[in-house]
Chains A and B, each alone.
Chain A
Amino acid sequence: MGREVSESCVDSLLTEIVSTYCNGFYANKPELAARRIEAIGYQVGHQLSERYTMERPRFSDHLEAIKFICKDFWSELFKKQIDNLKTNHRGTFVLQDNRFRWLARMSVDPSSENSSSPQDPSTMAENKAAQAVGMHLYFPCGIIRGALSNLGIPCAVSADISNLPACDRNNITKRNFDPCLVAPLTAHCELS
């Protein structure tokens, strides 16, 4: 078994990437923030695919490579495989992880987004929270795109979280060490 670090280290970095780019540099330009976060993920995916394919035979087709991402690659990152892989046979693959760890431990903390504008605070908080969740998806999307493109499969990857389960506030404040949110992730890979 190779070197390991605490999961909190990775979670902390992800939280900081999103807050640095979304609240700091590009507070009013979410598309630019998204692009930077995706680029960070892309580099990581590109490098990881190089490392994780080292000991295995070459893939004979795209499907085999995508299955590798769903199984071995995902397991290295999340200790579990993608739960469901679907394709429309026209170049789009849909990967679904029913218990995506990075959203499970993500910090959505509306109280820290102290907006001074007098709009309806609950809608504001909801929008902010939704946007924050959305921003967290660009990193894993970048990883998948980086990995696939390095395996010779250029593609566009987008993701959504279907049915983000409601989670009560008391649990969220304790989230630091107790994952309470278990969110499904759906990633769409469109081969170009």
Chain B
Amino acid sequence: MIVCVAVVGHQSFTEADDALKLHHIVHCSLDVVDERVNNPKKSGPLNESFLGLLCPPENYKVYGYLTNTKVKFILVTTDLDVRDADMRNFFRRFHSAYVDAVSNPFHVPAKKITSRTFAERVSTIVKSLG
């Protein structure tokens, strides 16, 4: 089950079940993202947005994604048997919802996304992954 999805960058959006603990996990994984991005050997030659699995599996699996506009998406799931393809698909759809949300003229960069449509779309995408 996906327990947390976070947008970190100019703005923050977090949808999580167990806020405090997950906040910590997200926070730690951001360092992993930075480390990967600043080290081309680890991020691979393609500069893909999808960064794959960030942390070694314990109770959770943490996946990351970095947009061209330096916004990080972090996903935390308790499902230890996830396929990369599903994660890629998830982030692609999530990214698209994110882009539409920040295209709202009333969205202020660096502020939290308040869009109801975005929250609904994210919830649909999360549910579709089970």
Would you call the interface of chain B mostly helix, strand, loop, or mixed? loop
Partner of A53, one of B69, B102, B109: B69
> Is A50 a contact partner of B49 (Cβ separation < 8 A)?
no
* Number of CB contacts from chain A to chain B under 8 A: 43
Closest chain-A Cβ to B115's Cβ sits at a distance in Å of: 14
**Is A152 among interface residues, defined by CB-CB distance under 8 A?**
yes
**Is A81 among interface residues, defined by CB-CB distance under 8 A?**
no
> Is B103 a contact partner of A59 (Cβ separation < 8 A)?
no
- Classify chain B: how many residues form its interface, as a range: 10 to 19
Question: Number of A residues whose C-beta is below 8 Å from B?
Answer: 17
> Is B49 a contact partner of A47 (Cβ separation < 8 A)?
no
**Is B113 among interface residues, defined by CB-CB distance under 8 A?**
no
Closest chain-B Cβ to A50's Cβ sits at a distance in Å of: 5
**Is A43 among interface residues, defined by CB-CB distance under 8 A?**
yes
> Is A43 a contact partner of B47 (Cβ separation < 8 A)?
no
B51-82 vs A, CB cutoff 8 Å, 1 = contact: the mask equals 00000000000000011111000000000000
In the complex, chain A residues 138-184 whose Cβ is within 8 Å of any chain B Cβ: 150-152
Taking CB atoms, residues of chain A closer than 8 Å to B66 are 58
**Is A24 among interface residues, defined by CB-CB distance under 8 A?**
no
Closest chain-B Cβ to A39's Cβ sits at a distance in Å of: 12
Partner of A50, one of B37, B103, B105: B103
Taking CB atoms, residues of chain B closer than 8 Å to A59 are 47, 68
Closest chain-B Cβ to A143's Cβ sits at a distance in Å of: 14
In the complex, chain A residues 88-147 whose Cβ is within 8 Å of any chain B Cβ: none
Partner of B47, one of A47, A51, A58: A58
Closest chain-A Cβ to B96's Cβ sits at a distance in Å of: 7
Give Cα A53 to B48, complex, Å.
12
**Is A57 among interface residues, defined by CB-CB distance under 8 A?**
yes
B39-54 vs A, CB cutoff 8 Å, 1 = contact: the mask equals 0100000111100000
Give Cα A8 to B109, complex, Å.
29
Query: A51 and B69 in contact (CB under 8 A), knowing A57-B46, A57-B47, A58-B49?
Result: no
**Is A54 among interface residues, defined by CB-CB distance under 8 A?**
yes
Give Cα A151 to B10, complex, Å.
12
11 A–B contacts from the bound complex (CB under 8 Å): A47-B103, A50-B102, A50-B103, A51-B99, A53-B69, A54-B95, A54-B99, A56-B68, A58-B47, A58-B48, A58-B68
A positions within 8 Å CB-CB of B: 43, 46-47, 49-51, 53-54, 56-60, 65, 150-152
